Amino acid sequence: MNPKEAIQNLISRMADNAFILGHRNAEWTGIGPTLEEDIAFSSMAQDKIGHAFQLYTLMHKYMGGLSPDDMGFNRTEKEFLCCQFVELYTNDYAYALIRHYLYDHAEAIRYQLLRSSSFRPLADLAKKIAGEIKYHTMHADLWMKKLTLGGNEESKARMQTALNEAWPYALGLFEITEAEESIMQAKVFTGEEDLKSQWMAHILPAVERFGLRIPAYAEPVFGGAKGFHSHWLSPLLEEMTEVFRTDVSTEW
Amino acid sequence: MYGNTFTDAEMDKQLKQNAEAESPELLAHFEHRIAAGEKIEPSDWMPADYRKQLIRMIEQHAHSELIGALPEGTWITRAPGFRRKMALLAKVQDEIGHAQLLYNAAETLGKPREAMLNDLISGKSKYSNVFNYPAKTWADIAVIGFLVDGAAIVNQLINSKGSYGPYGRALKRICYEESFHLKQGHDNFVTLATGTSAQRLMLQDALNRWWRPLLHFFGPPDRDSVHSGKLTTWKVKLASNDDMRNKFLDQYVPKIWELDLTLPDPELHKNEDTGIWHFSDPDWDEFYKVIKGDGPCNAERLNVRKWVALNSEWVRTALAKPLHNQIIWA
Amino acid sequence: MKSLDPRIDKLLQDMPPHPSAYLEGQCWEAYEVFQQPNTGESYSHVGSIHAPDPEFALLFAKEQYGRRSHTANMWVVKSSAIVAFSPDETDIFDTTPEKVYREPSEYNKVRDKIIQWQEKKQNK
């Protein structure tokens, strides 16, 4: 794969992840567990959608292709390269928080590594949004700590159950695609394996400190980065694009 | 102070006891302060009735913001394009933010947040009727964002001059954020009005459905409302329903007509001499019917808040501590 | 009746007939929030937050009070820690505006004195 396609692959995966997770997290706006947390969680969902917009914009500017709105609202399921983890629907706040924790730490490390990307626009974006991402992991860390080390038996149990369910999907965050070699060779990114090992180095001891157990064996849920999705994505996209698709060429 | 056994009946009993102790001197001094433009703060002496009326008013306003997030929330997952998606999210988030500010303001008067939320989901406390109507299409979001928010701003601007400090401060913050709501609402409205014929049709249909609830927004006509002179003296009620409704019509009807959109009322016109807008009777029976709980979405709105209470119970309980003396300064 | 909000039906289908209510303390405790708009400026009171503890209070305050205007930093303080004068004590502030001997504006006649003295000197 040539460097340009490789970069497009990387950015698409990042943007699609941010977009779909942002959409999922935005589903809590107005119905969050407390007023203050509703507000905080909504801000982070907006941030994620904003990151997706910035990534699609960057890609469009430097590499051509579809406009951000068309990337977000006018592609088929197969064209999306998000991992399956972000697609899952939930109305269980424990699961929402666990996903927030596991995903946002991976994202934070990814952006940290991208600060030295050979693709300058991406490096610049990584530096620009570092502060926003910091709040996301700060928020996730506090909730994890308080519901496990603080909290009560019920909160600990719920977080453990959510972790059990989320873990295989979280491992699916680090899918290797055919673009990987080109990405690493061009020094755009140090690669999914590097990201995964740094993420593990942070998450495993942290989860242990929280008194939670990582599932003994979990098969990573791959496929998303290659366009193979869970049964959740198609209905999500249909719903999300319902109004946009009534007329894709007009201004909304 | 009141805990979850707080009821209107108990409040009334306590207030009646306090009222018997209320001296005419204290009342005169209180009213003199208000007439002089002073603001009343939480620990100031106030007549029992002032406290009661303000709690009711601020609480209802808080509930309106909380429930108001739901009709617009209907289209959160389906907003077309990045700009609209993020703007709608920010807007609905603001509604929750406003609810938070208002619950805190009401709480300074002695009613805990728990008690207010319980009264909401039990159906005991009211909220603005307009939010009991469904947002049927994307264009409803444009109408709500422009006109319902516009109506709310007329209300809020006037009430921000009221006598109770914490409420005034909350309203000041709210008014500032509402200016974003209004602009993006108008932007959305104009985009649809000047867009494709399908978009225009969708908007006109939404406008036709929301017009009557909008007229109802400011409450029954003055001739039918029970007026308390006290509330005016105490700067709790600062303008009549008819005055506010007229202000709204004056500001927004021209903006609707300039886009060649119609309103479902052939009688609607302004008397240029008096400055008063005339309109056909918007069916006040329907207003009372919906306020009593028999509107299209009343049950759903409360069911969602019940679900939130239920779904979040484990979170709130896990982190709750035994309560001791609570004071809020807002 | 089916909801028009695609989120809502998914929520409500699982709801058991449980009489949900908020129990005392479940909405946590109140914290006052102070915001410093830019470095070097004073912190101002902007409102309050309900939180289980100070760390959460700060986290929530960031979004509720800091999502629009520029913020350099924030303080949160438990509302019950605030100490204030009671309303019947606030008359201790009544005469403050009258104490002009402490105000620069009271000392505006210096130039006149100099002129007067110079004129007297000249007339000698």
C81 CA: distance to closest CA in chain B (Å): 9
Mean pLDDT taken over chain B: 91
A91 CA: distance to closest CA in chain C (Å): 7
| Residue C4 CB neighbour total at 10 angstroms | 18
Question: Does residue B280 carry a pLDDT above 90?
Answer: yes
What phi and psi values does residue A194 have, to the nearest 5 degrees?
-60, -45
Question: Does residue B4 carry a pLDDT above 80?
Answer: no
Question: Which of C28, C52, C59 has the CB atom closest to A40's CB atom?
Answer: C59
Question: Does residue A154 carry a pLDDT above 80?
Answer: yes
Q: Which residue has the higher pLDDT, B226 or A90?
A: A90
Mean pLDDT taken over chain A: 97
Task: Report the CATH fold assignment for A3-210+219-246.
Answer: Ferritin (1.20.1260)
Asked, for residue B329, whether it belongs to a domain, the answer is: no
| Residue B309 CB neighbour total at 10 angstroms | 21
Domain extents for chain A? 3-210+219-246
In this prediction, residues A46-66 reach a mean pLDDT of: 97
A63, A153 contact by CB (below 8 A): no
In the 3-class helix/strand/coil scheme, how is chain A assigned residue by residue?
CCHHHHHHHHHHHHHHHHHHHHHHHHCCCCCCCCHHHHHHHHHHHHHHHHHHHHHHHHHHHHHCCCCHHHHHHCCCHHHCCCCHHHCCCCCCHHHHHHHHHHHHHHHHHHHHHHCCCCCHHHHHHHHHCHHHHHHHHHHHHHHHHHHHCCCCHHHHHHHHHHHHHHHHHHHHHHCCCCCHHHHHHCCCCCCHHHHHHHHHHHHHHHHHHCCCCCCCCCCCCCCHHHCCCCCCHHHHHHHHCCCHHHCCCCCC
C50/A40 CB distance under 8 A: no
- What is the tens place of the pLDDT at every residue in B62-78? 999 999 999 999 999 99
Q: Buried b vs exposed e over A33-48: b needs ≥16 C-beta within 10 Å? A: bbbbbbbbbbbbbbbb
Asked, for residue B58, whether it belongs to a domain, the answer is: yes
State the pLDDT at residue C53. 95
- Domain hosting residue B86, numbered range: 3-220+231-319
What phi and psi values does residue A150 have, to the nearest 5 degrees?
-90, -140
Question: Does residue B182 carry a pLDDT above 60?
Answer: yes
State the pLDDT at residue B227. 67
Is the CB of A34 inside 8 Å of chain C's CB atoms?
yes
CA angle B157, B159, B163 (to 5 degrees): 130
State the pLDDT at residue B7. 45
CB within 8 Å of A41: residues ≥ 6 apart: A25, A28, A29, A32, A96
Domain extents for chain C? 27-122
Any chains having at least 3 CB pairs less than 8 A from chain A are B, C
Residue of chain C whose Cα is closest to the Cα of B4: C24
State the pLDDT at residue C109. 87
State the pLDDT at residue A199. 98
State the pLDDT at residue C12. 85
B148 CA: distance to closest CA in chain C (Å): 19
State the pLDDT at residue C88. 87
- What is the tens place of the pLDDT at every residue in B74-123? 999 999 999 999 999 999 999 999 999 999 999 999 999 999 999 999 99
CB within 8 Å of A191: residues ≥ 6 apart: A176, A180, A183, A184
In this prediction, residues C68-85 reach a mean pLDDT of: 95
Handedness of CA C96, C102, C103, C105 (dihedral sign): positive
Residue of chain C whose Cα is closest to the Cα of B111: C24
State the pLDDT at residue B33. 95
Q: Which residue has the higher pLDDT, B38 or B8?
A: B38
State the pLDDT at residue B5. 32
Asked, for residue B188, whether it belongs to a domain, the answer is: yes
- What is the tens place of the pLDDT at every residue in A10-34? 999 999 999 999 999 999 999 999 9
State the pLDDT at residue B35. 96
B56 CA: distance to closest CA in chain A (Å): 20
Whether the predicted model's global pTM rises above the 0.90 cut: yes
In chain B, what is the straight-line distance between the N-terminal and C-terminal CA atoms, in Å? 17
Task: Domain C27-122: give its CATH architecture.
Answer: Roll (3.10)
User: B325 pLDDT band (50/70/90 cuts)?
Assistant: very low
Asked, for residue B226, whether it belongs to a domain, the answer is: no
Rounded-to-integer distance, Cα C7 and Cα C36, Å: 38
Asked, for residue B52, whether it belongs to a domain, the answer is: yes
In this prediction, residues C77-102 reach a mean pLDDT of: 89
State the pLDDT at residue B239. 93
Asked, for residue B272, whether it belongs to a domain, the answer is: yes
Domain count, chain B: 1
Q: For position B298, which CATH number holds?
A: 1.20.1260.10
Edge-to-edge strands of the sheet including C73-78? Answer: C44-51, C29-36, C73-78
Question: Does residue B322 carry a pLDDT above 70?
Answer: no
Note every long-range contact of A192-199, with CB atoms under 8 Å and residues 24 or more positions apart, other chains counting.
Answer: A194/A113, A195/A106, A195/A109, A195/A110, A195/A113, A196/A171, A198/A109, A198/A113, A199/A105, A199/A106, A199/A109, A199/A173, A199/A174
Contacts of residue B75 in chain A, CB cutoff 8 Å?
A: 243
Asked, for residue B126, whether it belongs to a domain, the answer is: yes
In this prediction, residues C4-28 reach a mean pLDDT of: 82
Contacts of residue B42 in chain C, CB cutoff 8 Å?
A: none
State the pLDDT at residue A67. 97
